[in-house]
Amino acid sequence: MAREFDAAMLRLYRQGKAFGGVYSQLGNEAVSVGSAMALDPKTDALFPMHRNVGAHFVFGAQIDQMMQNQLARQGSQMRGTDGTGHYADPALRIYGNVSHLGSMIPVANGFVLAARMRGEPTVALTYIGDGGAQVGEVHEALNFAAVQKLPLVLIIENNQYAYSTPNSMEFAVDELSKRAVGYGIHGETIDGTDVELVYETCRKAVERAREGNGPSIIETRTMRMRGHAEHDDFSYVPKDLLDQWALKDPVNTYAAVLVQRGVLSGETVKQIHDETFNAMVAAIDRTLELPWPDASEGMKNVFL
């Protein structure tokens, strides 16, 4: 679902039907899906970024609602005022995202701190990119979370480039998770293309958090296989680097693993793909038939 939603939005962008920017999660699906699967949707809270569509689906988001959001049609959770991923669904315990991405971590802190004061066993999971991990709010929030032993799991999605800036020009440490030592919390770096590894690592982090052992930093290494957004041709990325990471495509490689293990047949994989593709096309058709929200919606919740 995550891959097909992404592909659908790329097509809609080229057709001039997408509203706002389109930020691809291509190559990052295992991080979004594996991490969200480690949470309990009934008690925990998800704070996704703009490249975590897979996490939305894990927590129960429906294709039609997601399309209405992205295409800014009637029924959009932002009432048509935004179409680039800044939508939340409190009914599903999905909160986010804040455009200034570093601000997501202090918001998640506040959520779990309030939950703890109410006696609720809530763990919050949120994300930041390799570029966003360099901003001050992230460090301040991690220090606060560490001191308070807040039940927080932070995924640092290291997809090699912060827009056009490579890792080598962003930070000097060889693994971003090593910063956890400075906060006195757990940290580790893993292969972000392995969905089972992501799930198991996050499951343990959630367990530690729920037991009162404080936050964790998990750096997932992936590759952003598209530009920062679809307006960016990502010509600054060496082609051989993209070719190397394409061999680790998280969707295709995991499908192959499941076939090899005998969990699925090749025919079943194709059937799942075809059914998902058709469901996505049908959702697009239904959404494009919807009217635009009334213009009066644009002035709601605007403070002058």
Is 196 inside a domain boundary?
Answer: yes
Q: Report the distance separating Cα 73 and Cα 293, nearest Å.
A: 6
Write out the residue range of the structural domain in which residue 31 sits: 2-290
Q: Which residue has the tokens 């693993």?
A: 257
Give the CATH number, domain containing residue 58.
3.40.50.970
Taking the model in full, what pTM does it have? 0.95
Q: What is the pLDDT of residue 9?
A: 94
The least confident of 14-23, 64-73, 145-154 is 14-23
Q: Report the distance separating Cα 279 and Cα 250, nearest Å.
A: 21
Average pLDDT over residues 54-67: 96
Are 7 and 24 spatial neighbours (Cβ–Cβ below 8 Å)?
no
Q: What is the number of domains present in the chain?
A: 1
Is 228 inside a domain boundary?
Answer: yes
Is 296 inside a domain boundary?
Answer: no
Q: List Cβ neighbours of 204 (8 Å cut-off, separation of 6 or more).
A: none
Is 103 inside a domain boundary?
Answer: yes
Residue 234 buriedness (CB in 10 A; 0-12 / 13-18 / 19+)? middle
Task: Indicate the pLDDT class of residue 301, thresholds 50, 70 and 90.
Answer: confident
Are 104 and 96 spatial neighbours (Cβ–Cβ below 8 Å)?
yes
Residue 181 buriedness (CB in 10 A; 0-12 / 13-18 / 19+)? exposed
Is 303 inside a domain boundary?
Answer: no
For 152, phi and psi rounded to 5 degrees?
-125, 135
pLDDT in tens, 254-264: 999 999 999 99
CA dihedral 280, 22, 45, 250 (to 10 degrees): 70
